[in-house]
Amino acid sequence: MRMIAIVIILCFFVQIAVREAKKNNRSYRVISLEQTGLLLQALKIDRFESLSTSIYDIVESPDGATDESDVELDSKIGKKMEPISIQLQISALKALAYLFSAVSKENQGNNA
């Protein structure tokens, strides 16, 4: 009974993480995409198809041109950081790598 409850809770967390990774706020999405990929990889859950389309869209078209409004300052050292669009692309590619890793490990286990 306890194991079933744990599985249900994990499924709920996965659904929330996937939904959060698709939000429109670019600063938030930078973190949520990568963390969702890590979660899915750690749990060895295949959600490649549900996230890959939005990840491919980010990589192909990074939500507009880079300009001064797209650059954030690191408040600790007062130095300019990478534009949000670049950070979002990097995060999307990391998430894609994590998703691919989870899927390929699952497929390797099925082929053995």
Q: What is the pLDDT of residues 70-84, one digit of tens each?
A: 555 445 555 556 688
Note the helical H segments in the chain. Answer: 2-21, 26-43, 48-60, 84-111
- Res 68 pLDDT > 60: no
Q: Which residues contact 36 (CB under 8 A, 6 or more apart)?
A: 17, 18, 20, 21, 51, 95
In whole angstroms, give the CA distance from residue 63 to residue 82: 15
Query: Cα–Cα distances in Å, from 67 out to 57, 62, 63, 82, 86?
Result: 20, 13, 12, 11, 11
pLDDT (0 to 100) of residue 96: 87
Q: For 41-61, what is each residue's pLDDT tens digit?
A: 888 888 888 888 888 888 887
Pairing relation of β-strands 73-74 and 79-80?
antiparallel
The model carries a pTM of 0.67
